[in-house]
Amino acid sequence: MVEDEVSLANLIKEGLEDEGYSVDLAYDGEEGLYLALNEPYDIIILDIMLPKMDGIEIAKTVRSKNIRTPILMLTAKDTIQDKVLGLDSGADDYLTKPFSFDELLARMRAILRRSFGEVKNTVKVADLELNLDTHEVKRSGKVIELTSKEYALLEYLVLNKNRLLSRTDIIEHIYDYNYDFDSNVIDVLVARLRRKIDKDFDKKLIHTVRGVGYMVKE
Ligand code: CA
Question: CA dist 98 to 58, 80, 121, 157, Å?
Answer: 22, 16, 27, 34
Span from the CA of 72 to the centroid of ligand 1 (angstroms): 14
Is residue 92 located within the same domain as residue 130? no
Is residue 60 located within the same domain as residue 128? no
Span from the CA of 3 to the centroid of ligand 1 (angstroms): 6
In a domain, 74, yes or no: yes
What are the pLDDT digits (tens) for 145-174?
999 899 999 999 999 999 999 988 898 888
**Domain range for 42:** 6-115
pLDDT band at 75 (very low <50, low <70, confident <90, very high): confident
pLDDT of residue 15: 94
Is the confidence at residue 192, as pLDDT, over 70? yes
pLDDT band at 205 (very low <50, low <70, confident <90, very high): very high
Span from the CA of 81 to the centroid of ligand 1 (angstroms): 17
Span from the CA of 198 to the centroid of ligand 1 (angstroms): 46
Count other Cβ atoms within 10 Å, centred on residue 190: 21
In DSSP notation, 153-194 reads HHHHHHHTTTS-EEHHHHHHHHS-TT----THHHHHHHHHHH
If one counts the domains in the chain, the total is 2
Span from the CA of 185 to the centroid of ligand 1 (angstroms): 36
* CA neighbor of 186 nearest in space, from 165, 167, 211, 159: 167
Question: CA dist 120 to 131, 169, 170, Å?
Answer: 9, 25, 24
Span from the CA of 40 to the centroid of ligand 1 (angstroms): 23
Is residue 87 located within the same domain as residue 149? no
Is residue 108 located within the same domain as residue 12? yes
Type of residue numbered 78: D
Question: CA dist 113 to 30, 39, 50, Å?
Answer: 29, 20, 28
- Alpha-carbon gap, residue 214 to 218, rounded angstroms: 13
Type of residue numbered 191: A
pLDDT of residue 183: 65
In a domain, 1, yes or no: no
Span from the CA of 56 to the centroid of ligand 1 (angstroms): 12
What are the pLDDT digits (tens) for 14-23?
999 988 899 9
Averaged over 42-62, what is the pLDDT?
96
Give the end of a domain, one of 93, 115, 137.
115
Is residue 25 located within the same domain as residue 111? yes
Is residue 138 located within the same domain as residue 184? yes
Span from the CA of 167 to the centroid of ligand 1 (angstroms): 35
What CATH number does the domain containing 205 carry? Answer: 1.10.10.10
Give the end of a domain, one of 81, 115, 149.
115
Span from the CA of 57 to the centroid of ligand 1 (angstroms): 14
